[in-house]
Structure 1
């Protein structure tokens, strides 16, 4: 008996439901009491579970949408880089085709000759 009193004083309180002791003959058995949930508590837990699941699905759908948009942005940037390369090549070709030496060669091939006395300078309309 002294040991049982000592153990009761030394053991920490776990906060669980108190155990009922039933003495049958020479040995002591303990029964624990299981606490059930009320209907309102069950509904609250069910609502919280559904809310958490819904929010999780919504967040995942937003992340998937952001991933898709990022993929589209990358594709558009790639297309822009390709088009800029083509524009650069075309600008180089225009510069080459508009060079004075090339125009002079084409004029000579067509039988035209340069007459400096026949050159007139025209001003653009609206410029001083």
Structure 2
């Protein structure tokens, strides 16, 4: 039994040494931050500028799109008005023929008196 007691003592001593070794390296490591506070501020400022720029670009593109849409709408209105003007010019030329004017004059009771005609020169 003497041997058994010695083994127990050695095992207990060995366990105590392991506990001391395990407890001894418990030093709190001071973690160095990945970024310093100044770098964090610069990063935030940079990301803010990038976000502001992105929003500004998107809003400008939206405004350009709206203006282009208005331009296209105006071009369509102009084309429609040109067509209407062309139709009206054709009506004017049809209605202002000599024969038509002579017929209207006869309907109203006017007669052609060649003695009463005066020619105006430039």
Does the alignment reach a TM-score above 0.5? yes
Tell me the TM-score normalized by structure 1.
Answer: 0.65
Supply the distance in 1 between the matched residues of 2:85 and 2:58 (Cα, whole angstroms): 40
Pairwise mapping of residues 35-54 of structure 1 onto structure 2 (< 5 A)?
Answer: 36-54=34-52
Larger helix proportion of the pair:
2
Counterparts of 1:54-69 in structure 2, within 5 Å, are 54-69=52-67
Alpha-carbon shift at residue 106 of structure 1 (Å): 1.2
Name segments (4+ residues, structure 1) moved above 3 Å: none
Shift of residue 105, structure 1, vs aligned partner: 1.2
Structure number with greater Rg is 2
Q: Which has the higher strand share?
A: 1
In structure 2, distance between residues paired with 1:88 and 1:110: 30
Work out which of the residue numbers 61, 73, 76 in structure 2 matches 1:75: 73
Alignment TM-score, normalising by the size of structure 2:
0.68
Instruction: Give the distance between the partners of 2:70 and 2:32, measured in 1 at CA.
Output: 56
Query: Could you give the per-residue CA deviations for residues 32-86 of structure 1, whole angstroms, max 9, x where no partner exists?
Result: x986100000111111111001001001100000000000011111111111111
Structure 1 portions without partners, runs of 5+: 1-32
2:85 aligned residue (80, 84, 87): 87
CA RMSD of aligned residues (A): 1.8
Aligned residues, how many?
Answer: 92
